[in-house]
Amino acid sequence: MAFRFRLILAILVGKVIMRLVRLLGRGKGSSLPGMVALRICPDILGYLARQARRGVVMVTGTNGKTTTNNMIARVVREAGYRVVVNTEGANLITGVTAAFLKAATPAGRVDCDYALLEVDEASFPRVTRYVHPDMVVITNFFRDQLDRYGELDKTISLIREALVKLPGTRLVLNADDPLVAPLASSTGQGAFYYGLGEHHQVTALSVSAREGRFCPRCGRELVYAYYHYSQLGNYRCPGCGFARPFADVEGTEVSQGSRQVSVRLRSPAGSYELVVPVPGLYNLYNGLAAFSAGLSLGVEPEAIIRALAGYTPATGRMERFRYRDKQVLLNLVKNPAGFNEGLGTLLSLPGPVDVLIAINDNDADGRDISWLWDVDFEVLEEHHHRINFLVCTGRRGAEMAVRLKYAGVPLDRIMVEDMHRAVERVLNGPGATAYLLATYTALWPLERILSGYAARETRVESLPSVS
């Protein structure tokens, strides 16, 4: 009786807070309601999550969690299932709880087939103490927010220890990441692997491969046949024989454009062409992960292909706006690997481009911004003719400008403005495209300012699954 009272009180209070936060324009109400509900009823998450009739899927890793989870949610919804999903990317235990609060009735009932949960790497052990996932999708591991996570080895060990305590959980793993692939053997869990095979855009060297250089088993330096980006590629250890595992789902014949990326898939269900309507090789990996998860859940491959072809990005995940005749792209950056891929996308856009970079150092971003010196901004020196200007903003906008100066970007292309002026400048700049890159806590303010000027681009839902 006492638990029932706390449960109902927690749900009611959480829903009221959720509504108030949104009415007051103070956010999406995707974390605070969960925080308060957990204080009132600590066991609320486990109780609500157990009501998912067909099971729980968790997505964790460094980059691509939100996009991959939302892609899986689209696949599962299109297949006719009801889902609970934390779409806004609130991936701590408070955000996961808030997603269930939103779906719950006042009496504590949740009507869903699947719970699809993006979970922060450091929060994964805590969340899995309350929720036993039937499937865990792991995207990649990169160095990220050292002042919060610590060294990467610590993060991986926390996830590995949590997985060992989850008997029967199926893993969907990135075969191309030597830090992710060993989790099957080290935890004893069954795994389904996805990855990219060799294609015309692979490289023999990767100057940005700072993680995963050494064998996780014997410590010898890994040898790569080729790289896709950072440490992702075809690797092997010359000492103990550790190597990239066979990928159950593998993509070849990669084609990248300014609005989409596509690949030819080999899978246990046959060969297909996957089109993901957002640019970047990293988004192709997200699509491969979502395809693999959908296939593992028993969704028909043709249905997965159709669903992913109509995917619409979440806020800041290559979100598109239109301002007059100008294309506007908003993209989240939070660590060197992700920022490097964001710069790659920038240089693939038809230029010259007007660029905004917003850097904050709030708790959610990480107080330590020294990671900016690990980003390969030096590529902008060589390609500065493709950029009209770079306007820096946010709490650490001045430091960002200094980093660009030392990267060799011409000083007449660099400026520092407050956020409103910065947005006005890129929207009214001479380029046909404005590209905005922002850390976590700069993302939502930028999105609100943009919404006052520009209209979000609507995605045509009938994009062909095979081109």
Mean pLDDT of the chain: 90
In degrees, to the nearest 5, what angle opens at C-alpha 263 toward C-alphas 459 and 278?
A: 25
Residues of the chain with CATH 3.40.1190.10: 51-309
The predicted-structure confidence for 259-279, as pLDDT tens digits, reads as follows: 789 999 999 999 999 999 988
Does position 456 have pLDDT exceeding 70, yes or no?
Answer: no
Position 249 confidence tier, pLDDT thresholds 50, 70, 90: very high
Where in the sequence numbering do the catalytic residues fall? 368
The predicted-structure confidence for 101-145, as pLDDT tens digits, reads as follows: 999 999 999 999 999 999 999 999 999 999 999 999 999 998 865
Q: Is the pTM of this model over 0.75?
A: yes
Closest CA to 252 of 278, 234, 277: 234
Q: How is domain 51-309 classified at the CATH fold level? A: UDP-N-acetylmuramoyl-L-alanine:D-glutamate ligase (3.40.1190)
CATH of 317-454, one of 1.10.8.50, 3.40.50.2300, 3.90.190.20, 3.30.1360.10: 3.90.190.20
| Cβ neighbours of residue 1 closer than 8 Å, sequence gap 6 or more | none
Please check whether residue 228 is in contact with residue 202, taking contact to mean a CB–CB distance below 8 angstroms. yes
Residues of the chain with CATH 3.90.190.20: 317-454
The predicted-structure confidence for 171-229, as pLDDT tens digits, reads as follows: 999 999 999 999 999 999 999 999 999 988 888 877 665 678 899 999 999 999 999 98
Cα–Cα dist 129/165, whole Å: 9
Q: Which two tokens stand for residue 149?
A: 């996570």
pLDDT for the residue 314: 66
